[in-house]
Amino acid sequence: MKGVLVSLRLGLAVLWAVLRRTWHRLIHGPAIASWSWAVELRMVALRAFLDAAREHPDPQARSRLEQRIDPPLPKRLRRVLRVRKTDLAGLRAEKHEAIATGLDPELPYVLLYLHGGGYLAGSAATHRRWVANLAWAIGAEAHVPNYRLAPEHQFPAALEDAMAAYKELLAEGVPPGRLFVGGDSAGGGLAAALLLRLRDENEPLPAGGLLFSPYADLEHTADSIRENRATDYIPSVEIHPNTIYLGDHDPRDPYASPIYGDFDRIPPLVVFAGGREMIRDDAVRLVDAATRAGCDTVLHLAPDMYHVWPALLPNHPETLRALSLSAQYVQRTAGA
């Protein structure tokens, strides 16, 4: 019964927000000139959903609702990919693998993908469609672990799980030169932190990393948080550290906030960010830090996009461009 009430409450919040924005747009036009109806209403609906979910007094009910998410792959991907429930280093995970020609059957690229969700939410299932899109675009077998989440599991639990998952793939015989790490939002920041820790512990490094809207400053000092509050769906990020995940840990620890890391000897990175997203500056500052250290890093900034748009707008031209650029990056980096 609680699950039904939670779903109803969230649904009503989304409906009301969409109706209000529809009326506003009819009178005043789009919030951003380039935004179609679909782009704008998707942002509004998701913001309303996340705000309502955050304010709900029963976090366990929200968690149970999320655990029931089990989306099928789009038809075009079901023809070429299958997703299997697996175990990776003791973590529940999903594996995306090809069922049609297109991948090298001997040595496909392998992607360890770390999902987003602010270290508080998200799972392999919530990111299934996006990871399938990305895996097929870059020609990779993808592994998506359900790493431990706050508030039950605070820093460095997520990083420890990412390390364990990476080492497990190596132990299974995946060559580091064919292995990539990636992630979006918190998962993007976690992927960057994973690279720093692998380097620091003298572990074999992967070929590179793909970061989408990385959440890389848990102190929340970015000016873009204020500048882009009206054009993103992230729930009103406050200008204070993420203590739900960090506890009383230093938010400037590079393993928590990679913008403060030393990227010397880190493999090549490709970073995507939206010009209209609240943590745009996290990506910009991470790329600046990596470039100063001599890391081969490229930033692709989509001027009018919001947070992790490729996962939300699968057919948008900027998403197709991001997928194409990701494929080029993987082929160039693995072949270097």
- Which residues are catalytically annotated? 185, 277, 307
C-alpha–C-alpha distance, residues 107 and 110, integer Å:
9
Residue 143 CB partners (closer than 8 Å, separation 6+): 86, 88, 93, 94, 95, 96, 110, 111, 112, 113, 165, 169
Q: Is the peptide bond between 151 and the residue preceding it cis, with omega within 30 degrees of 0?
A: yes
**Residue 273: what are its φ and ψ, rounded to 5°?**
-150, 155
Cβ–Cβ under 8 Å, residues 111 and 137: no
Angle at 17 (CA atoms; ends 15, 23), nearest 5 degrees: 100
Cβ–Cβ under 8 Å, residues 299 and 283: yes
CB atoms within 10 A of CB 78: 13
